[in-house]
Amino acid sequence: MCIVALAWRAHPRWQLVLIGNRDEYHARPAAAMARWDDRPGLIAGRDLQSGGTWLGADEDGRAAVITNLRGFGDPLPERASRGARVTDLLTGSGTYADPQTAALDDFNPFNLLLADRDRLVFLTNRPEPQCSLLAPGLYGLSNGPLDQPWPKTLALKDAMLQWLVAGATDPEDLFAPLRRESLPATGIAPATPSDAPLEPPLSPIFIRNPIYGTRCSSILAIAPDGTGLALERRFNAQGNVTGNSRIPFHWSTT
């Protein structure tokens, strides 16, 4: 996942609103957002190469999203899958299920946002391991530090802010800004290149590229009573829509 905006306790109806695009090589296999047969309660897309996920929610009361972090050298293939980290956190089971004790240095550089009924936590492992509680508000994340003002991050945060202040309630409206292909004019350019050589140095929110580009747009919206909605829109190498998922769910109260 390469661009995310998240509103935490900033909307009268939705406790959490998370939107983002996953940018990846089109040749890398992935399954659509769905309920996982082997992890009851988990709703997420699935990376069929490494087995984990990049964004999802679990009906036990967790939601999470991860992005790669630039600026610390090439990723090492022998390290644990970052997607497995997300899956364990979401389900509350597995080697990396506890955000306080899991060995963050087992992974290539990452940023991760984890929410439950009561808190929003930011985790990263560069330049050193960090686990921080975040206050209510609006956050943006791409492949740099949290809220670093890259042009596309500022643009997506602004779109989310406009949705919030307009009093909108339908999260599907947020698919529109996730599809923006114009290059934002405001912000600070990334200081380091992407791990993906074909990603443009200054990329728009939606990347249309036949080899490496936006594979899907995702939205999670969860109300204070636990009522939730998971949405996903998928794209092919030409940027055309190939499928949609809409999955209502409910966080358990225990």
Q: How confident is the model over 84-129, as pLDDT tens digits?
A: 889 999 999 988 888 877 787 888 899 999 999 999 999 999 999 9
At 180-218, the pLDDT tens digits run 999 988 999 998 888 888 888 889 999 999 999 999 999
Place of tokens 């679990």: 58
- Rounded Cα gap, residues 120 and 55, in angstroms: 15
Bridge partners for 8 per DSSP: 16, 137
Pick from 56-65, 122-131, 146-155, 230-239: least confident: 122-131
One-letter amino acid at 89 equals L
Q: Retrieve residue 38's tokens.
A: 């082997």
Q: Residue 212 carries which side chain, given as an amino acid letter?
A: Y
Confidence category of residue 1, pLDDT binned at 50, 70, 90:
low
Determine contact, residues 220/55, Cβ cutoff 8 Å: yes
**pLDDT (tens digit, 9 = 90+) per residue, 6-44?**
999 999 999 999 999 999 999 999 999 999 999 999 999
Q: What's this model's pTM, rounded to 2 decimal places?
A: 0.96
The token pair at 7 is 């509103």
Average pLDDT, the chain: 94
Please give the domain boundaries of the chain with CATH numbers for all domains: 3-250 (3.60.60.10)
Token pair in block for residue 149: 């003002």
Sequence-separated (6 or more) residues with CB below 8 Å from residue 233: 175, 178, 216, 217, 218, 241, 243, 244
Whether the predicted pLDDT of 254 surpasses 80 = no
pLDDT at 76 exceeding the cut of 90: no
Question: Strand order of the sheet with strand 137-141?
Answer: 137-141, 3-8, 16-25, 212-222, 227-235, 241-250
Average pLDDT of span 67-95: 88
